Structure 1
Amino acid sequence: METNQANQEFQSDFLSVTDARQAIADLVTSSYESSGMHLRKETLPLHQCLGRILASDLLSPIDVPAHDNSAMDGYAFNSSELSDDRQDLALTIIGTLHAGQTEMPTVKSGQCIKIMTGALMPTTCDTVVPQEFTKTLSNGLVSFSSDVVRAGENRRLRGEDLQSGKAAILQGRILRPADLGLAASLGIHQLEVYQRTKVAILSSGNELCDIHESLAPGKIFDSNRYSLRACIERLGMEVIDCGIVRDNPDNLRKAFITAAQTADVIISSGGVSVGEADFTKQMMEELGEVGFWKIAMRPGRPMAFGSLKPSSSKSTPTVFFGLPGNPVAVMVTFYQFVRNALLQLNGAKWVEIPLIPVRSAVGIRKKSGRTEFQRGILFQDDRGQWAVKTTGSQGAGILRSMSEANCFIILHHDQGNIEPGDWVDVEIFDGLL
């Protein structure tokens, strides 16, 4: 009974994942978006804009399409030829129009013209009957039934996709391949984007050694900086690698002050628990403000968030994330808290990743009162239905579980044990675009 009571008291001051995300969003909004001082802009050639964030609405300089044109291969004619009695029509073919052709013959009553997809519509034509619904007669006529096409069908009107002066892509968009193709289709060769957010990373711990060093007894290789660097660069941002910092207040103080002078965001890993050698919290209280420290989640319970005070060389505070030291926990907390914040700090909108419900192929033990991020493998079962299973052992130090996974299985705060066949939410790691 005493153990349970102590555990309840320990859990009572934990933030939920939802509240933690809101706390981060509030700081981003109040400290950065309101001032806009961190949103620096630059103009880049179109081919360098993939993954960058659009800094202003992209207005179309032209109508799309620029002219009325045919939506498919067929025969263009005036809809006045159509009758209500659904009888077959026979129209005289006066020629052929190809895409790119600008000489427009006059199509008169009783006539039609063969037309290719994308070809300009003659001024006297407003309808195209698809070629597969027609029959070509030997006397230069084409025949088709009146009920296979309605007036105005299969014609694309000038500006129906996008009118000149209207926004083609909205500010805050993380630019994807289709966006660059859309810009190119409008004749635009450069875009104004936000400059990349500068993110400083460091690892804290006396037990760490770099991968270029020999592994001495009692030491472990530092993997967190390499995971974090890849996560940040994948977002299209600039990384400042501050290396490994030993568990010493003076070393940490110097590292944080130096990083804050050049970086918009600092991300450290390790040193945020309650151990005697964990000095990150002490430095945060000295140099800035601490947002929170304990989150009701697994893995990743100890986590620091706040900001370092502006310095004489920098007018805005530097956002600080103190992530756990365990390799899986550092990646989970990055993706669940830091990713969206970095994108928003860089001017992005619409940054949420959708959750997809699938059935669990396995049973999963889960305590209510915390959110768990299990590493999962999404697959098709024997019936061709999508299902998910865990990667096996879910220890916070087992980085292989992240390497083998293709999704997070998200077990929400109030959920309990999962039985095989139960629905669970998954968050897929990689997307098509």
Structure 2
Amino acid sequence: MAKKSKEEEEGSSATRNPAAELTDDLIVDILSRLPVKSVCRCKCVSRRWRGLISDPDHRKKLPQTLAGFFYSSENESSFPDEARHFVNVTGRGRPLVHPSLPFLPRFERIRMVDSCGGLLLCRCYESSNAFRYVVCNPAMEEWVALPESGYGDDKEEVELCTRLGFDPAVSSHFHVFEFVSADDCSDVAGVKIYSSETGEWNYSESEWFPDTVLFADQRSVFFNGMLHLVVLQLAIVAVDVKGETWWNMPVPEMEDVEDIFTWRPGFIGQSQGKLYYLSEYDTVPLSLSIWVLEDDSTDEWTLKHNVTTELLSEKINSKTDIYHSDYYHVATVHPDCGLIYYIAGRGGTLMAYDMDRMESCAIQNLEYRYMEFLPYIPFYSEILSNGD
């Protein structure tokens, strides 16, 4: 049989695999137009594509997904006694950001409050009882200090529930929600909302139930232009960025459970364009129920998954977590796939549960239990002004 020429072999190869003829820049441009989940699947096409997607320079052009978590720890024997950390959940490379946020101006103390859409909300203390809100973008090392909201004479003693709202797919502007308590009780009286578009705070009176109470560490998610929170009144509440629309809806009811001892506000989050609620009942049998709101125009929740706490904690390494127990604390729902991140065991092991495979895995022992995790998705655009 006659041997094919080099030109014929190259032509035959291109016919079998047209993508082989695409330049790197063209491939990256195509990938940048795909959703995150599709980009992740494209890593399996070839080593070349996997390398292009993982390249730090190309990563800035591609749609982003969950990279890890910011969290703080306290140690009275150290100075300073509070430290900031970042844990990478991608399984590859170093942390994408430095948890000390070295690009910020020097402050006496910086407390991370909330994260949303790649931005981080901090309380930056200029003295022991005076702070300013600062919103920063760790990926671009940008920041902006907000004007004073005017709420509270001594903010150090006021437990403020303050949350950040930002969706870069909808707008380049962010909002900060600072909830105000009534003078004679802890019920929510209203909210002060800062808009980066106007540069001003505006106050709106609450239209939630009169006995609605929020705490500084209240669970929340910014979804479809509204901030959603789970409150002690067995309800999920929400308010929009203008303080004009307020609504309440009951949390999903538990069925086929032998007994419910106590109820704690569960986790509220979003994944794949839908609102998720994860229950935190102390029940018999002990389990975690995962609900999804298939249609956000209704109050009907669908039970998507249920997993026992025994399965959630079975992969904890007893050598690194000597306080192994059925304790768990949800950290977040992955925005693009069926993964639940949570803290398990009394020693504080960060874990992930795959709802599709019904498997759990340990990521890292953090040695801290009482801490709040702020999920982080890199945002590679310049929208902040590095100043006031």
Q: Give TM-score scaled by structure 1 length.
A: 0.26
Greater relative contact order (Cα < 8 A, sep 6+): 1
User: Looking at CA atoms only, which structure, 1 or 2, has the larger radius of gyration?
Assistant: 1
Which structure is higher in strand share?
2
